[in-house]
Amino acid sequence: MLKGFSREEKGWIFYDWANSAFSAIVAAIILPLFFKEIARSGGLSDVNATAYWGYATSCGTLICAVLAPFLGTLGDFRGLKKKLFTAFMLLGVVSTFLLATTNSWKWLLVFYILGTLGFNGSCVYYDGFLPDVTTEERMDRVSTLGYGLGYIGGSTIPLVIALLLIQFGDRIGIPTVTATKFSFVLTAVWWLVFTIPMLRHVHQKHGVEPEKHIVSQTLHSIAHTGRKILANKSVLFFIIAYFFYIDGVGTIIHMATVFGDSCGLGSMDMMVILLVVQIVAFPFAILYGKLAGRFGAHRMIVVGIITYIIVCLVGYNLQKMSDFLMLAVLVGTAQGGIQALSRSFYGKIIPAENSSEFFGFFDVFGKFSAVIGPTLFGLVAQITGVTHYGVLAVMGMFILGGAIMIFLVPQKVEKVH
């Protein structure tokens, strides 16, 4: 599958394989369930536990959203991108490991927030490395393969190991809580070990020379990049569209498990369903990349948005297990493709020497959407007392994003200079 890719492209692709274990085990599946069990034992109601999980997700992404432009600008100074990437990666790894050391729902949220900051911060630089490792013509293929391998490798292999141990560990003398905590240790080790190819083979090729007054240079550069984005209306509208539709994607990823729990699904049922998402997402992420080569990334992003609108309609009317399985398959067909093509679509229209800085702005919109979505979901659940109503707000985000993408973002956006 990796035949024909350069050593730099392979190293970059493998970071998706490495960090996807955090996305699956910590952000989406095992930690949310473990948190709800610990929270219930601590006296929290189901609705409040769901809401606090949403607030914690929003808090972690809000911190990174505020910092993203500064982080991205610093990463464009020669010699700093990999150092900053490594620092945030290690923050995520250590915080994930610490999840295994506590039985307090409050500390679980603290370590989850820190892990989210490390994950998101490292991804600012990871995305910024895309123009360093490949050409514009190959970006869609490289980006979608990264997401694809992330799903089948980082998301699936350690997740299956963890699920088997949680389900059958009692038979060999391993309590469920111990098995669950082992999954966090496994995630941290997996993340660290499979980042090694990225650290060895990926190097910063584009960048700007730091000046004596690096703080003022950073602030000036942020302002200059902001003006460039505002001047290119097509780029601006794409970022706004991205803000809305990625809000829905992120909210579904972060809230799916606690939503399923509130709907009465058992822990293993939800884990199986979410595992189906990972397995389906692998071939479809790669398929999105191939179809983008034929129809264009713009059209395939719109296809992904339409798929997610259908997902919301199905989610609002969930009644039986077969509905959840249908939902899992639908999400899997679009989840990796829409994220990967959004990344490569943007990567092709920004200047390579300022890629981290531009991706910093890109992440501001993506992260703020992740702040709004889970918070809105949690507020609707608390105000109405009905978790399903939050799905309608998420669907509205997809509709807004899709409308902007279709009517205001051209098929081919002029490159920023």
Q: What is the pLDDT of residue 259?
A: 65
Hunting for tokens 């829409």 — which residue is that?
338
pLDDT of residue 122: 93
CATH class held by domain 7-408: mainly alpha
CB 255 within 8 A of CB 374: yes
pLDDT of residue 230: 86
The three-state (H, E, C) secondary structure of 354-372, written as one string: HHHHHHHHHHHHHHHHHHH
What integer is the mean pLDDT of 99-106?
A: 94
The CA distances from residue 185 to 22, 123, 179, in Å, are 11, 21, 10
In the predicted model, what is the mean pLDDT of the chain?
A: 85
Q: Is the pLDDT of residue 256 over 70?
A: no
> Residues 54-63: pLDDT tens digits?
788 778 877 8
Q: Is the dihedral of CA 292, 355, 306, 150 positive or negative?
A: positive
HSE, side-chain direction, 13 A CA sphere, residue 132: 26
Q: Which residue is associated with the tokens 């990625």?
A: 246
Percent of the chain past pLDDT 90, that is, above it, reads 37
Residue 199 has pLDDT above 90, yes or no: yes
258, pLDDT greater than 70: no
For 375-410, b/e burial (b = at least 16 CB within 10 A) is bbbbebbbeeeebbebbebbbbbbbbbbebbeeebe
Say how far apart CA 145 and CA 283 lie, in whole Å: 9
CB atoms under 10 Å from CB of 212, counted, come to 6
Which among 25-29, 38-42, 48-52 has the top mean pLDDT? 38-42
pLDDT band of residue 107 (cuts 50, 70, 90) is very high
pLDDT-based confidence at residue 212 (cuts at 50, 70, 90): low
pLDDT of 416:
78
For 293-312, write each residue's pLDDT tens digit: 999 999 999 999 999 999 88
CA distances from 51 to 37, 117, 271, 337 (A): 14, 20, 21, 29
Determine contact, residues 126/214, Cβ cutoff 8 Å: no
Residue where the block lists tokens 């092709």:
348
Domain chopping of the chain, boundaries: 7-408
Confidence label for 198 from pLDDT (cuts 50, 70 and 90):
very high
Residue 219: is its pLDDT beyond 80?
no
Q: What is residue 370's predicted lDDT score, i.e. its pLDDT?
A: 59
First to last CA, the chain: 35
Once rounded to an integer, what is the mean pLDDT over residues 199-209?
86
pLDDT of residue 59: 83
198 contacts 89 by C-beta, under 8 angstroms: no
pLDDT band at 9 (very low <50, low <70, confident <90, very high): very high
In 3D space, the residue among 282, 255, 288 whose CA is nearest the CA of residue 270 turns out to be 255
In one-letter notation, the amino acid at residue 212 is K
| Environment class of 320 (CB within 10 Å of its CB; exposed 0-12, middle 13-18, buried 19+) | exposed
Q: What is the helix (H) or strand (E) element at residue 164, kind and residue range?
A: helix 157-168
Give 325-364 pLDDT, tens digit per residue. Answer: 888 888 889 988 998 899 999 988 888 777 777 887 887 7
Which one has a higher pLDDT value, 170 or 241?
241
As given in the structure block, the two tokens for residue 38 are 């610990």
Residue in this structure with the two tokens 């190959």, named with its chain if needed: 138
> What distance in Å separates the CA atoms of residue 194 and residue 157, rounded to the nearest whole number?
13
Taking only the tens place, the pLDDT of each residue in 365-390 is 766 655 677 777 777 777 877 666 77
**DSSP symbol at 137:** G
Is it the case that residue 253 has pLDDT exceeding 80? no
Residue 32: pLDDT band (50, 70, 90) is confident
